[in-house]
Amino acid sequence: MRVTCYSVLKMVVDSAVEELKLVVDEEKEKQIIKVCEVVDKMSTDFDGISYNVIINNDDKNITIELDCDEIIVEDNESEIYDVFKDALNVTFKHGEGKESLIVSITVPGIWK
């Protein structure tokens, strides 16, 4: 089975629901699924290495990280641009050994 952004997100969300007693808002979940679909496309297009998902304990926002070779956003009509534009925060940093790029996309939490 192929690991996807949403499969990693789902594991982290399920854990948060159980441990933190959070409740998922289905409409907000649909929005983050769309973000995950774009992140999966980025992973395919730019040789993604791994995904990481973090739920901020304070504000419950969700950060999705993709470790890949590069990211190219050709114009403001691309899906990637739309995800970056709609995100609360987007950061880039060197991956381990500075041989890859980690893009971090923070989006609002999916909680009621």
Asked if 27 contacts 9 with a C-beta cutoff of 8 angstroms, the reply is no
Report residue 98's pLDDT band, with 50, 70 and 90 as the boundaries: confident
Over residues 88-104, the mean pLDDT reads: 92
Q: Is residue 36 part of a domain?
A: yes
pLDDT at 75: 87
Q: pTM to 2 decimals?
A: 0.94
pLDDT at 3: 92
Task: Give me the number of domains the chain comprises.
Answer: 1
| CA 61 – CA 86 distance, rounded (Å) | 14
pLDDT at 56: 95
Q: Is residue 112 part of a domain?
A: no
The residue whose two tokens read 């998902």 is 53
Comparing 18 with 74, which gets the higher pLDDT?
18
Q: Is residue 87 part of a domain?
A: yes
For residue 45, how many other CB atoms are within 10 A of its CB? Answer: 14
Burial class (CB in 10 A: 0-12, 13-18, 19+), 86: middle
pLDDT at 26: 96
Q: Is residue 42 part of a domain?
A: yes
Q: Is residue 12 part of a domain?
A: yes
Q: Per DSSP, what are the bridge partners of residue 67?
A: 50, 102
Over residues 73-98, the mean pLDDT reads: 92
Structural domain range at position 62: 5-107
Q: Is residue 49 part of a domain?
A: yes
- Integer angstrom CA distances of residue 84 from 28, 104, 106, 112: 17, 10, 9, 24
Q: Is residue 18 part of a domain?
A: yes
